[in-house]
Amino acid sequence: MIAIRSAALRSFAPGLAYASASGSASIPTGHASSYPRSPLWLRCASQVATPSTSSHDLGLTAAALLPPLKLLRRILRSHRKYLDANQRSLGDAYVKDEFRRHRSVDQPLQIVAFLAEWKKYLDFLDLQHLEGGQFKGRQLDEEKFKKLSDEQLYQLHEFMVAAKEVYDPLKAKGQPPGGARAVQEAVDGALKRAREEEEAVEKKEQ
């Protein structure tokens, strides 16, 4: 059984939320400085933020979005201000990896969804600080959890393993929708489907 650590899964899940909403797979990693200098993100935001696409409910207009590198820097700065050492170490690594994975995305909806979800996360950090409360993270939305692809479930599993190494199991209080068992069953199901697909391909080749 996989143990879910309190703030870890709930706090740093914008990337998963974005991916489940847009239905995109991860992009190969690369250096963050490879982001194009041209304001592609802004052109894409303007293209998506139209009445014809309002049903996507991205929650942010083009004017409210931040350029990728600026957004990344502000998130890391907020981590330094608001998170403890363990949360910051885990959060910084996750955020940097997500931005590297998506540096080459050129689909308008995916770009806006990615920037919007991380901007919401940044606003969430600032809001908790203004309210004077201790950082607690937030629950991963059940509907978004159900929409995760097999690849995203693998990433979620890896993230939980990393969180397990950082947090004391006795201090873990939060659980994802359905608890740790739901995550384990989802990962097992993804592995089973992957094996079945491989077997089907092998049979066709015979």
* 98: Cα within 13 Å, side-chain hemisphere: 29
Residue 147 scores a pLDDT above 60:
yes
CA distances from 166 to 5, 15, 106, 153 (A): 9, 20, 35, 20
Q: State the distance between the two ends of the chain, measured CA to CA, in whole angstroms.
A: 37
Q: What is the per-residue pLDDT across 39-69, written as a single tens digit (0 to 9) for each? A: 454 555 544 444 444 444 444 455 567 788 8
Q: Give the model's confidence band at 2: pLDDT under 50 very low, under 70 low, under 90 confident, else very high.
A: very low
In a 3-state reduction of DSSP, which class is residue 15?
helix
Residue pair 135/168 in contact (Cβ under 8 Å)? The answer is: no
Residues 78, 135: contact at Cβ < 8 Å? no
| pLDDT score of 145 more than 70 | yes
**CB within 8 A of 151, min separation 6: which ones?**
25, 26
Give yes or no for residue 197 having a pLDDT over 70.
yes
pLDDT of residue 31: 37
**pLDDT value for 134:** 60
